[in-house]
Structure 1
Amino acid sequence: MLENNHVNNFWRSHNFRLEPWGNDYEPQIQINEELALSESEVNPTVETDNWDSFESQEPPLLPNRLIFTDGRLRLDAALIGGEGNTITYGVFGTIAVGAVVIDRTIPKASYLDPEIDIHRVIGFGGEQEAVSTAIPCPFGSKSKLFYKAFNDKFDNTPAARGAIVQTAMLKAEEKLVGKLDIKDAETLVIRDGSLRYESPVLTLGYVKTMHRQYLPEKYAPFLWKLLPGQRTPIFEIKLKNRYQYSWYLKSGSYQHFNKQLGYHDLHGIVRLELSIKNGIDRATEIANQTCYLIPYYASHPSKDPRAPQNLAPVGALERELGRRMGDATLIKRRLQNFLASVGGNK
């Protein structure tokens, strides 16, 4: 009872309310992972210094077990308010992280349950501390909405909302990947997105957007020449205080050339990342494996508008995560009812 009183007193004293335009009119939340790497340095010659004569090699062996991981986020409600005359920006958010496991020896794909995790978070910009809050259920409902306080520090701006939920999702993904059993060479993890945290060695970062050019001008034209299933040589990227390997690859199939679909020549180009701890020989082996694996699991244009960059197992996982996150309209309505019920001091 004392805990409930503390939560209710928080909401009454701070007078936080929903910002009506917060979800519908702000740009889609997508913190660009590649633009954030502005301090990076590139060494394009770790595998070869002769890019002109480079050819992708057939992999001698392929891993028998693949694990695709991904996360989804949603801003359930944008908050604005504060104590006294201060203005503080906050957010109720939902995040979901999970994995799809593919046994290539059967073959069989399945969600890694119970490792599909749904989290709801509440956070604020500036110095405002959030309190974990349980949103009451409507009459006759057994569903629970519990928003856990996420009190990392963010600037007190509207952009803090997206940063709060994004950071919470990345931490949940890091925790998920840390649980995975990937000690043997027969397992390869493909994480949808850049390796933003310290990942296990056999984890690939899969970046399907091109918002930053990592290659020096001398090597950049090589991207235009790639055919489906071909890659660039491995290059090395310095990211703040760590190094990692990376390479570009052309995804898709020969049956769906860009010119036939009216797409740009760089359509289908993805970038992969791998820990430098693998060493260049092991990294080369894995890079060659991706020349087969990435096009094989690429989505089809008739089923996914993000094809071929969006991998089919990841697309299926995204849909399952979205289903488990709950109905956005109903959840926002419950948040509105809750805030109306706690009143305010003004």
Structure 2
Amino acid sequence: MQIRLDPWPVDTLDGQLTLKPFAGLVLDAETPRWAAVAKKPVPERLRRVLTIDGKPRMEARLLVEHGGAQPSVAGFGAYVVGAVDLCPHGSRQAELLDVRARRVLAYSDDVQAAVQPARFSPRNPQTGALEYQPHAFRGAHLEGPRSEVQRLMLSGEQALAAELASALPLDDTDADALAETLVLQDGPVRIGTAGSAVVGCVKTLHTDYLGADRIGLLSVLKPGERTPILRFTLGDDGLTPARSREQRFTWYVRLCEAPFYQHPLAGVMRLEMHAPEDSDFVPRAVIDIANLSGTLLCRLASQPHKDQRAPQNLIPTGALEQAMNRAMGSLDLVTRRIRSHLARELGVVA
């Protein structure tokens, strides 16, 4: 018996490796030869790389009383979506983009009365006002407010990625199809960003898309090497309606050597992009992005002494997370402001 270490911290929601077999079909897209693909340099044509991430936070759970009806659940929440703009060749400094907190009053759609924005003006004007915009969610489930904040955050990520990424030619004939601006999105790509140069960076390996006969290649990849590109259908589980399914390309990249005491897939990241419907080829632009992904991600990979989620939690993503935390402010101070506001509303001296 051998015991290996999962390198991610134990207080992380999920471990780095909890593989479950994918229920659908996974097809060879680039080549039927299952072997490592060597890393290649980042072309000069790629001038701009942006990493995008979002962060949701619930700040207070609420119970809304309206007339004589049954009280319903609601919540104050916040989310931040932002980007880091960097040069893949290191010719300029990285820059934070659009890191701004949006605050939400999420309430059940069974509330019949009009819900107005909630604005909390502080006693000290230097600390700024908190304004929560109302958003209704369906039903009256206790986790409805949290789900609504999460939905708004994901929608914000999708909109920002679609705005910033270059258009992606989806044919196999253009030899110079590489986009000038590439977006690296934390997590899987979102529905609605097809046709754009957006790559989803999946840090935790939860689903096995390879099977027992192929997964061994991941443990022998060298830093910067990747697997061939595969193709699968999102929602191909026999349960999801066909209209909700979407084609995806995916491949794996190794960012660093796994230390001897960690499991052999430590340091491996799965990448994915949208795939054209009903086609049996890989667009040249997708191959170009896959070819440069190993070199680019090895440059951006974090180090264990600086980030416990290294190397998959990329350096610009870690910097963006810190900026997002600052944008939302201290949860303790925000909660105190909420209590003071409700005390004044209820006529109680705070």
Q: TM-score, structure 1 length as denominator? A: 0.79
User: CA offsets, 1:283-330, max 9 Å, x none?
Assistant: 222111111111110001110011001000111111111111111111
Q: Distance in 1 between matches of 2:140 and 2:12?
A: 17
Judge conservation of contact 1:131–1:148 (CA < 8 Å) in 2: no
TM-aligned CA deviation for residue 149 of structure 1: 1.1
Q: Residues 270 and 181 (structure 1 numbering): CA distance in 2 closer, same or farther, change over 3 Å?
A: closer
Q: Which amino acid aligns with 2:338?
A: L
The match for 2:266 is 267
* Pairing 1:301–2:304 present: yes
Determine the structure 1 residue equivalent to 2:38. Answer: 56
> Contact 2:36/2:217 (CA < 8 Å) preserved in 1?
no
In the alignment, which residue of structure 1 is the partner of 2:95? 111
- Over the matched positions of the two proteins, sequence identity in percent amounts to 31
Residue among 185, 195, 198 paired with 2:192: 198
Matches within 5 A, 1:67-86: 67-83=50-66, 84=68, 86=70
Paired residue total: 307
How large is the Cα RMSD of the aligned pairs?
3.0
What CA distance in whole angstroms lies between the structure 1 residues aligned with 2:291 and 2:330?
42
Q: Hey, what does 2:239 align to over in structure 1?
A: none
1:19 aligns with none
Aligned to 1:6: none
| Residue of structure 1 in register with 2:5 after alignment | none
Structure-1 residue corresponding to 2:323: 320
Give 1:179's aligned amino acid. Answer: E
Give the C-alpha shift of residue 57 in structure 1.
4.7
1:310 to 302, 310, 313: 313
Structure 2 Cα separation of the partners of residues 39 and 337 of structure 1: 50
How far apart, CA to CA, are the structure 1 residues paired with 2:165 and 2:69?
Answer: 51
Cα distance change on mapping 1:105 and 1:212 into 2, 3 Å: closer
Q: Report what 1:258 is aligned to.
A: 259
Residues 1-346 of structure 1: matches in 2 within 5 Å?
Answer: 41-51=24-34, 53-59=35-41, 61=43, 63-83=46-66, 84=68, 86-113=70-97, 115-125=98-108, 127-128=110-111, 131-142=115-126, 143-153=128-138, 155-180=139-164, 182-183=166-167, 185-199=179-193, 200-239=195-234, 240-252=244-256, 254=257, 257-259=258-260, 262-277=261-276, 279-343=282-346
Measure the CA separation in 2 of the matches of 1:42 and 1:280: 20
Q: Is the 8 A contact 2:39 2:226 kept in 1?
A: no
Task: Using structure 2 for the length normalisation, give the TM-score.
Answer: 0.78
Unaligned residue ranges in structure 2 (runs of 5+)? 1-10, 168-177, 235-243
Which structure 1 residue ranges, 5 or more long, are not aligned?
1-27
Stretch of structure 1 that moved more, 324-333 or 137-146: 137-146
Q: Structure 2: how far apart are the matches of 1:31 and 1:158?
A: 23
More helix by share: 1
Amino acid at match of 2:230: F
Structure 1 counterpart of 2:259, one-letter code: N
